[in-house]
Every structure is written in structure tokens, then in C-alpha cells.
Amino acid sequence: MKKSCRFLLLLLGLLHPVNDCAIAEEPQASVSTGASVERALAQLTSEDEAMREAALRTIIEQGDVNLIPRLDEIRANADRSIRQVIKPVMDLLKNRANLESPKNDVRRSAATDLGTSGKQVAVPWLERAAGKETNKWVRYTMEESAALLKLATDDPSTKLAAAEKLAELSSQNGVPALRELVKAGESPDATDVQQGLAKAAASAIERIETWAAWSNAIETIFRGISLSSILLIMSVGLAIVFGLMGVINMAHGELMMVGAYGTFVTQELFKTFLPAPMFDYYFAFAMPVAFLLAAGCGFLLEATVIRFLYGRPLETMLATWGVSLVLMQAARVYFGDLTAVVAPAWLSGGQQAMVGVYLPNNRLFVIALSVFCVLAIYAILFRSSLGLRVRAVTQNRNMSACLGIPTRRVDAYTFAFGSGLAGIAGWALTLIGNVEPGLGQNYIVDSFMVVVTGGVGKLAGTIVASLGIGGLNKLLEPSLGAVYGKVCILVLVILFLQWRPSGLFAIKGRHADS
Amino acid sequence: MTENHDIQPHAQRDVGLAFWVTGFVLLILMPLLNVIPPEDSWLHLSDFSLNRFGKFLAFAILAIGLDLIWGYTGILSLGQGVFFGLGAYCMGMHLMLTIGKESVYGSELPDFMVWNQVKELPFFWKPFYSFPLALFGAILVPTLFALVFGFLAFRSRIKGVYFAIITQALALVAWLVFNRNETNLGGTNGLTDFKQLLGFRLSEPGTQRALYVVTVLCLGGAYLLCRWIIRSRAGKVLIAVRDSEQRVVFSGYTPANYKLFVFVTAAALAGLAGMLYVPQVGIITPAQIGVLPSLEMVIWVAVGGRGTLAGAVLGAVSVNLGRSVLTNYFPELWPFILGGLFVAVVLLFPDGLIGILRNLKEQVRVRKPVVVAEGETLT
């Protein structure tokens, strides 16, 4: 039993250098290990506890990352108590080396690790590293970690300064330690010094919490905008078609699903047929694929179903719902239930905007995409001949027909275009959720509401309505929960329609009926 | 029961022969076939079949109401499942409470409340100890709800696609709310495990037979009521609203009131259907009241033939029969068939089964004299 344990540990020891090879290449690493360090290494396994302590200290102060394999070797052969002492030392050395790593993430996580290690010896390392640091957020973490460590010292003035520093940094991680200080100050046998510290800590906590409230608010707004832009991309195609033909396409969600599956298939094709370095480009390539696939489906749908139901919007709703059922089940039978798209590297991760405010890249991308879509649609509607025709037919179909506009062809193209937009929405949604047959259903009722609230015929209505509904959704979610938030929004929409029955920006005219 | 296609706006004033024949078959013949022939006889109708048919007929009541609002008045409500659910839950709550200490945990409280550690019966459950109040509630709750919702919707002249979308959102929201545990309505699992109704065991075939008969009677009542509404002056206004609301307004009527009336009636019928559905099926869950079930209800009417009450009944029974047969043999195929039905009915058979039957009848009627008069020269 013991033998096998040792074998495992040896294996681990063998693995470690492999893990750390990135670090070993760094310029700072040197082959020379001083004589004192050599002696300390030898003393690590000594029976004398004091000697061992001293050896550890020497290793921490003078050693570097090159010692790790050797420490590992010692650890593998030592007994339990010594192994337990050596492990933190190894971590310290590794993190110390990692503070110099060229990668931001590695430096940052090393700083975080050191901050939670509770080893005072790391304070000068962190401060030195912070002085040299160029990346704002890595420097922030280093300073935060240093302050956290200082807060754990025995010296009251250092503690005070550390509390002040944590407040200045608005460090959420500092709050538990500060709370401890406050508690210590509240106990009946607290000294004056402790009470003073507690006061400082309390004010620091207050400053940190105020900031947290702000950053929370900012994040909520961001989430609202992000949801709004998803809704916007989804509803804008729906709204254009509704404005033009008076038709709500219930299969819009499934056209999104088609776009999402198009993205998935593109990914799989790239994975199978193209060399690995090309893989990250699949996502960009999938955009036209998703657009064209969904537009093609839309074109077919228009030509085979919707065309024959002209002027019967309710029947069109039912028929398109039937199509959506068929599409959904087809996807379920063909693809199965769970298929995920791996976001390309440049879209994973996120940006730190402020302390406590972290903006995921995929959400930022969706926001940018919605802005792009709106601009593109404006350009098409107001700067192209198709757009001119679309606007004319939207305003007055009969008059446009009289003036020689082929209204049916305009319908077909617009419907295909709107469907293509659904495809793009599906393409973007693969970044946020799984690709599944029910993908379209998740948001579709919300986007219908956007269209109804926004009113017909004006893009601005759709934009404002999706901002309003998406924003309200996220605003109400924390206090009411997602479900009651939705209930609230439905009630608000119904009340809103009392005031503006045909939506936000209805085209003004003298028609008594719609 | 399928030959009920005499109820057209231009049809005769009396209830036709088909009504009485259908009534006889449903009310007397089918229960008798269940009771009298021995079990191995080919004439025998099993308890299961009769019970299943009772469920379909409960759906037919809802379909009649939906036809009134969609087929006759031209308002597409995609939230009919909500009213059905409200009625069903009212009845379900009563049935839950009559379980008493027979429940798994032997508590006075329904089992799911024991799981959710609810200590005391929520206030809105208390009236449902009483059977008459539960019956009353199953109709009244959906009616009141429809009254408020319809008032707001029709007052602001929400119509057409807008109304359809708003009611669909209502169905979604109701589904979400009923799924929650803290509303104390059983969450996703709904209400189930009922034992008795008015002291009769629900597992007894006799009880189920009685429920079936009650359902048939209610269906007959609903049919006559709707028939009377359509033939009244108000019914004429409803059809006029469907055909041109604008002209109705210009003629001095207020369509909103008529629409509200018909919407509330349809909701009450949906509540009645839900109330009859629950004891027969023995379970009600949010899955039966969401967006998709509400849409399926519309397809019943469309398949049967919108704008004819008999069509609504025929559609509800045939689609559900088809569903229960097909999901048995080809579970994966059913969504394709349902979706195909949506498209096919709307595109190819706008008058539904009733329309097809009527066409056949016309053809027979036209061809016969022609053949007699001209011989085989004319084809």
C-alpha cells in the first residue's frame, strides 16, 4: 500500500516539471543555486524541527522555481508531516515565479494565490511585481493581495494602512477579513488600538459596499442591454416582415434554430476537413452560412405557404406555427438534443471594465452585432432601391402596385431577408446557449411582445421596445425573480397598449381600421 | 356523432336529426355498450375507451367555446389553455383536499405541500373544501379572469395578430407561474393522486361512467347554449364583427362589448371543460395549459371546421383520437403530423372536416339528379 502511494507521488513528481516547463524557460531562471540553499535542501528532512524551519525559510527567501523538481523529489521520499510543509513552499516558489510570467492571466492568478496564502514573505514580492506591472488589472490584484496579507500582520499601523488601501481598491475580497477586525473591536475586552482598527475597518467596508452597489447596478444595466440586443436582433426581422405584410411569422424562432444549426454544422465541417489552426475562423465563416440557410428556408416558406395566405394574418400565424413544429421535430430527430458550439478563442473570456464589473466578450459581441445589424438595416431600407420599395409597400400596398412596384417580389425578398436576420440571431445565440431544437422557443414570445409594443412600420419602435423589454426584464429579475418579472412585463405591456394601442411608433394616418 | 353538419347560418331553425342521433349514441348507446355486453364481445366498449372518450368530449366543450370566439367572431385566442387550466385547477384543488389523510404522508395537507414544508393550508385553498364552491369556482375564476383581461384588451382595441400574441404571452406567463412551487399549486408535478369525488371512488368504473354521462350532458348544454347565442341577434353582430368590424362600428354597435361577452363565454366553457377533465384524467399539470396546448386547441377547431359548432366537436374528438393512437405507435411522428395538420388545414381545407363532408354531400346531391336526367352523356 505504502509502496503504491510512493509510486503515485513519484509519478506526480514526474508530472510537475512537465507542467512547469513554461516557467522554466523564463529569463529569470538561473541554474546557480547557492550553497546555502543546497544546505537547506539537505536539512529539510532533518529530525530537528528548528533546523527544518530555518531551512524552509532559506529556501523561500533564496530559492527559485528551479528548486521545485528537487523539492518534489524530497517530498516524494519524505513522510507525511514533511510533505505537508513542503507543499506550500513549492506553491510559494511557483507563484513567485509566475508573477513574472508573460501571460496576464497567470500573473493575476499567482497574485490571487499569494494573497490568500497568508504568507507575509510574499508581501515584498507582490509590491515589487506591482511596481513593474503594466497591466492595470494585474497590478490591481497584486496590490489587493499585498494589502490582504498586510491586514493579517500584527502591527496596527500596517493594518490600518492595509484597511485604507483595501477601501481605496474597493476590494470585495477584503470584506471578510475587515469584518473580523470589526468583530474584534466590538468584543468587550478590546483594546483602544483594536477599537480604532475596527472603526477604520467599518468605514472601509462601507466604502467597499457602496462601490459594490454601484458596480452591481452597472452590471445589471449591462445585462439589460445585452438581453435587449439579443431581442433586437431577433425581433427586427420579424418587425420588418410584420410591417410590410402584416404577418407574424411564428416559425421565426425555428429559423433562428436553422441559423444556429448552420453554425454547428460549419464548426463540425471545419473540425473534420480543415487543419486545426483554421478552426478559429469557422465562426466568421458561419455567419454567411447561417444567413443564407435561414434566408433560403424563409424564401421557401414564403413561396409555399405564406404567399397563399395573403391578407389572412391569423391563418398565416397558424400555418407558420405548424411549420415551426415540423422544423423543431426534424432538428430533434436529426441532430439529437444536445449539440454545443465551441466559441472561438477570441470570443471567450471577457473584459474587466471596473473593479467588480466584468464584461464577457460574447455579450459585448452580441451588443456590437445588434448595432451593426441596425445600421445595416437602416442602410438597406433608406439607401437602396429595395429599401425604397419596401417602405413604399409598407405605407400603401395598392398605391405601390399601381406605380409599378412588383409587390409580391418585394414581399418574397423581404421575407427572405427577415429570415436571414433570424439566421444571424441564431448564429449569435450559439455563443450564449446550447444549440438545441427548442432554441427558438426560449425568446420568441418576448420578441413577439417587442414587435407588438414597438408598433408597425418604424424600426425605431422595435429598437426602443426591445431596449425597454430587455432592460425591464433584467431590472425586475433581481427583486421579483425571473417568472414574476415576466408576469410584470406582460401586465405592463397590456397597460401600455391601453395608452398606445398600435405600439410606440405607429404610422400616423387616417385609416379607421388596421 | 359525426353527421352534425346541419348547423349553418342558413340552416333550419330546429335542432336537426343529427343532434338527436349523436346524443343518443353518446349518451345512451356508448355507456350501454360499456355495461351490457360481456368483456370478450366485439360490441364491448372497455372502461378505458369510455373514459378516454369522456376526456375528448370535455375537450369538445372547450372547442365549442373556442369556435364561438374564433370561428364566429374572428378573434384568435392563443390563451384558451389558461382558462382551461384555471377550471381544472379549481376542481383539482377540491379533489386534492378530499384525499384527506389517505395521502402518502397521511397529512391533512396535500402531499406536495408536505414536501415543500408548507405548514398551513394557503387561504385560497380553503373555499375548495366545499364541492359546490369548487364547481362554482371552476367556472367563475376563468370567467372573472377573462373579464378583466378581455376588458383591458378590447377596450384598447387590441385585435387580430396583436390579440393573438398577447394571449400567447398570457399562456406563457400562466405556464411559468403554475410551474413555480411557491404559488402552492403543485409546481411542475401539478395536482394528482386523487381518490374520491363526493364519496365515490374515482377508480371505480361506475364513477367514471357517471362522469362520462355528466360530460355528455354538459357538452349538449354547451352546444345548445352556443347555438342559441349564434342564432340570436347578438350572434349576428358577432359574425358581422368577424366579417367587417369597421362596418359594425359605423352601424352604431360597440364591438368591444360583444367581443368581451364572447370571450368571457368561451373562457367559462373552457373552465367547465377543465373541471370535467380533471376527475376523468386524474392529473392536471402546467404542461397542459402552456403555449403549445393552447395552440393545439385552435387546431382542433380548425381541423373540424371553424364556424360550425359541430365541426368544433368533431375536430376535438378526431384530433385527440388521432393523437392518442399515433403517439402510441409513432411517438416521434406526432409533431410532424400535428405541424402538417396546421399547414394542410389552413392551406388546403379551410373549412375542415365539416367542409369536406359538406362537399361530398353536395357532390352526391348534385350528381344524382344529373345522372338521372342526362344519363351517362355528361361526366
Per residue in A86-123, pLDDT (tens digit) is 777 777 777 777 777 777 777 777 777 777 777 777 77
**Average pLDDT of the segment spanning B57-80:** 90
C-alpha cell at B281: 384524467
Tell me what pLDDT residue B187 has: 78
- The more confident residue out of B95 and A347 is B95
Task: List the single range of A477-486, B57-66, B252-261 with lowest mean pLDDT.
Answer: A477-486
Share of chain A above pLDDT 90, in %: 8
Using a CB-CB cut-off of 8 Å, the residues of chain A touching B293 are none
Given B166, B176, B343, which is nearest A483 (Cβ)? Answer: B176
- Position B11 pLDDT exceeds 60: no
Query: For B297, which residue in chain A has the nearest alpha carbon?
Result: A318
Q: Return the higher-pLDDT residue of A188 and B251.
A: B251
Buried b (16+ CB within 10 A) or exposed e, A276-294: eeeeeebbebbbebbbebb
CA angle B223, B225, B227 (to 5 degrees): 65
Which residue would you say has higher pLDDT here, A392 or A204? Answer: A392
Model confidence at B373, pLDDT cuts 50, 70, 90, reads very low
HSE, side-chain direction, 13 A CA sphere, residue A144: 25
Give the pLDDT score at A506: 66
**Which band of pLDDT confidence, cut at 50, 70 and 90, is reported for residue A24?**
very low
- Determine the distance in angstroms separating the CA of A470 from the nearest CA of chain B, rounded to an integer: 15
For residues A330-349, average pLDDT: 76
Q: What is the pLDDT of residue B15?
A: 62
Write out chain B residues lying below 8 Å of A448, CB-based.
165, 168-169
- Per DSSP, chain A holds a count of helices (H) and strands (E) of 21, 2
pLDDT, tens digit, for every residue of A158-174? 777 777 777 777 777 77
Per-residue model confidence (pLDDT) at position B378: 40
Using a CB-CB distance cutoff of 8 angstroms, which residues of chain B are in contact with residue A440?
none
CA A63 – CA A121 distance, rounded (Å)? 13
Cβ distance A318 to B158 less than 8 Å, yes or no, reads no
Mean pLDDT across A423-436? 86
The average pLDDT across B284-306 equals 88
Range with the lowest mean pLDDT among A316-330, B21-35, B146-160, B176-190?
A: B21-35
What value does the mean pLDDT take over residues B131-135?
A: 86
Distances from the Cα of B101 to the Cα of A184, A471, B89, angstroms: 54, 48, 20
pLDDT tens digits for range A442-474: 778 888 888 888 887 678 888 999 988 888 888
Nearest to A181, CA basis, from A161, A163, A169: A163
**A10 vs B105 pLDDT, higher one:** B105
More confident residue, A58 or A8: A58
Residues of A in contact with B294 (CB under 8 A): none
* Mutate which: A316, A325, A446, vs B, most B CBs within 10 A: A325
- Band the pLDDT of B328: cuts 50, 70, 90: confident
| Preferred mutation among A483, A496, A510 to probe B, highest tally of B CBs within 10 A | A483
pLDDT of residue B354: 83
Which residues make Cβ contacts (< 8 Å) with residue B77, sequence separation at least 6?
B66, B69, B70, B163, B164, B167, B263, B266
For cell 404571452, name the residue. B169
pLDDT in tens, B90-105: 888 888 888 777 767 7
Model confidence at B66, pLDDT cuts 50, 70, 90, reads very high
- When mean pLDDT is compared across A338-347, A478-487, B262-271, the lowest value belongs to A338-347
**B213 — pLDDT class (breaks 50, 70, 90):** confident
* Nearest residue to B1 via CA among B24, B33, B32, B35: B24
* B166 contacts in chain A (CB < 8 Å): 452, 490, 493-494, 497
Tell me the mean pLDDT in the region A192-207: 77
First to last CA, chain A: 84
pLDDT at A358: 78
B148 chain-A contacts, CB cut-off 8 A: none
Q: Residues 214-253, chain B: which have Cβ within 8 Å of A? A: 245-246, 249
Between A15 and B69, where is the model more confident? B69
Q: Name the region of A311 (left: φ>0; alpha: ψ -120 to 50; beta: rest).
A: left
Lowest mean per-residue pLDDT among A268-282, B169-183, B342-356: A268-282
pLDDT band, very low/low/confident/very high, at B6 (cuts 50, 70, 90): very low
| Residue B367's pLDDT band (cuts 50, 70, 90) | low
pLDDT of residue B62: 92
Contacts 24+ apart (CB under 8 A), A378-385: A378/A459, A380/A417, A381/A240, A381/A459
Distance between CA atoms of A51 and A45, rounded to whole angstroms?
9
Task: Note if the pTM is more than 0.80.
Answer: no
Check residue B59 and give its pLDDT.
Answer: 92
Task: Say if residues A259 and A251 touch (Cβ distance below 8 Å).
Answer: no
The predicted structure's pLDDT at residue A299:
93
Query: Is the per-residue pLDDT at B377 higher than 70?
Result: no
What's the ipTM? 0.81
Does A319 score more than 70 pLDDT? yes
Q: Is the CB of B339 inside 8 Å of chain A's CB atoms?
A: yes
- pLDDT band of A391, cuts 50, 70, 90: confident
Per-residue confidence (pLDDT) for residue A213, from 0 to 100: 84
Interface test with B, best of A300, A305, A317, A449 (most B CBs within 10 A): A317
CA-based nearest distance A448→chain B, Å? 7
Q: How confident is the model over A228-238, as pLDDT tens digits?
A: 898 898 888 88
Q: Which residue has the cell 467599518?
A: A202
Enumerate residues 6+ apart whose C-beta is below 8 A from A179: A201, A205
How do the domains of chain B map onto residue ranges?
Answer: 17-332
Q: Averaged over B332-340, what is the pLDDT? A: 86
Q: How many helices (H) and strands (E) does chain B have?
A: 15, 4
pLDDT of A70 > 90? The answer is no
Rounded distance between C-alpha atoms, residue A165 and residue B208, angstroms: 76
Please, what sign has the CA dihedral across residues A57, A59, A60, A61? positive
Whether the CB-CB separation of B288 and B47 falls below 8 Å is answered with no
Compute the average pLDDT of residues A291-303. 93
pLDDT at B147 over 80: yes
Grid coordinates given for B282: 386524474
Look at residue A6 in the predicted model and tell me its pLDDT: 52
- Which of B292, B347, B349 to mutate to test binding with chain A, by most A CBs within 10 Å of its CB? B347
| Confidence band of A507 (pLDDT split at 50, 70, 90) | low
Percent of chain A at pLDDT > 70 equals 88
In this structure, of A338-342, A437-441, B198-202, the range with the lowest mean pLDDT score is: A338-342
Q: Of A9-23, A116-130, B73-87, B171-185, which gets the smallest average pLDDT?
A: A9-23
The reply to whether B179 touches chain A by the CB within 8 Å rule is: yes
A122 touching B (Cβ < 8 Å):
no
Test B169 with A326 for CB contact under 8 angstroms: no
Give the chain B residue nearest A512 (alpha carbons): B246
**B180/A483 CB distance under 8 A:** yes
Q: Which pLDDT score is estimated for A1?
A: 46
Residue bearing the bigger pLDDT, B132 or A125: B132
> Which of B179, B245, B347 lies nearest to residue A305, judging by beta carbons?
B347
pLDDT of the residue at A337: 66
Asked whether the predicted pLDDT for residue B361 surpasses 90, the reply is no
Q: What is the pLDDT of residue B140?
A: 92
Chains A, B: CB pairs < 8 Å? 119
pLDDT of A133 higher than 90: no
| Out of A48-52, A208-212, B254-258, least confident range | A48-52
Taking the Cβ of residue B151 and every Cβ of chain A, the question of whether any pair is shorter than 8 Å is answered with no
